Amino acid sequence: MVMEEKKISSAVIRRLPRYYRYLGELIESGVQRISSKELSARMKVTASQIRQDLNNFGGFGQQGYGYNVQYLYEEIGKILGIDRNHNMVIIGAGNLGKAIVNYSDFEKRGFVIKGIFDNNPKIKGTKIRGIEVRMMNELTDFIKDNEIEIVALTIPKEAARQIAKVVADAGVKAIWNFAHTDLNLPDDVIVENVHLSESLMRLSYTIANRK
């Protein structure tokens, strides 16, 4: 595939899930093909940006015809690695952990939540969306037995730093980190951070510096 021959910029990669979302919405509304100009109007991105971005992947458009929506959707899905399942575990059965477990869209995209872990013995064995809450001492074995690829950390920062190491030692190479801290892990472990405080501060920055 073309994508493996060249380095794609992280800016393009950041935009891909958004293309994927828009194309999914187009499919839902029965649109079969779309020009870069129409897609541009919907996404509020310039048509030339769209063409340039999609050219990174060999380009799926044809002059005068536009893009085949279904095809492009599937190709971007493959590029994003969501054409196959990823087994996932959630650490922390608090509100945020529950929100993630209950969000059915993740599973639709192939992120299969296999287990939920917490350190509160009171909720041991309870279920969230049918998935059992387990205690932390089972974590390492569970990761190995269930071929877990992704671990989401929805726990306080001190715990997150500790558990991230445990999880990396158990062979997990991808961590979805919601704790308000950076995790210092070996370079081969990918960390995707969702720092809500920082997002909120960007909002207040824009409020403070408006006009």
Among 31, 47, 82, 112, binds its own copies (CB under 8 A): 82
State in angstroms the smallest separation of the CB of 114 from its own copies. 15
Residue recorded with tokens 């990174």 = 56
Q: Does 21 bind its own copies (CB under 8 A)?
A: yes
Q: Does 31 bind its own copies (CB under 8 A)?
A: no
Nearest to 24 by CA among 41, 11, 43: 43
Q: Does 20 bind its own copies (CB under 8 A)?
A: yes
Enumerate residues 86-125 that contact its own copies by CB under 8 A: 86, 94-96, 98-100, 102-103, 105-106, 109-111
Structure tokens at 68: 């085949």
Which residue lies nearer to its own copies by CB, 10 or 63? 10
Q: What number of residues does the chain have?
A: 211
Phi/psi for 48 (5° steps) reads: -70, -35
Q: Does 180 bind its own copies (CB under 8 A)?
A: yes
Which residue lies nearer to its own copies by CB, 120 or 137? 120
Which residue lies nearer to its own copies by CB, 44 or 64? 44
State in angstroms the smallest separation of the CB of 203 from its own copies. 4
Distance of alpha carbon 66 from the chain centroid: 28
DSSP-derived pairing of the beta strands 127-128 and 131-135: antiparallel
The answer for residues whose C-beta is within 8 angstroms of residue 81's C-beta and 6 or more apart is: none
Q: Are 174 and 143 in contact (CB under 8 A)?
A: no
Q: CA–CA separation, 163 vs 15, rounded Å?
A: 31
Q: Which residues bind its own copies (CB under 8 A)?
A: 3-4, 13-14, 16-18, 20-21, 43-44, 79-82, 86, 94-96, 98-100, 102-103, 105-106, 109-111, 149-150, 173-174, 176, 180-182, 190, 192, 194-210
Annotated binding site: 92-97
